[in-house]
Amino acid sequence: MNKIRIAIADDHQIIIDGLVSLLAKYPQLDIVATANSALSMLELLKKTTVDILLTDVMMPG
């Protein structure tokens, strides 16, 4: 079975770390990218495909 590929974008590293820690408990999920800004995430998404993008609603850049 293919894992669900997830990317996380948030300007607070503690939120990213918490989500990674929480989602790591589920073997069917694979965190493939994290970013601290919208621009960084856009660059990462040019290089990899994801099934789910978790992002902060109010994030600079």
Give the model confidence (pLDDT) of 20-59 as tens digits.
Answer: 999 999 999 999 999 999 999 999 999 999 999 999 998 7
Domains of the chain, first to last: 4-55 (3.40.50.2300)
Asked if 10 and 36 touch (Cβ cutoff 8 Å), the reply is: yes
Asked if 34 and 20 touch (Cβ cutoff 8 Å), the reply is: yes
pLDDT at residue 61 greater than cutoff 80: no
pLDDT grade for 12, boundaries at 50, 70 and 90: very high
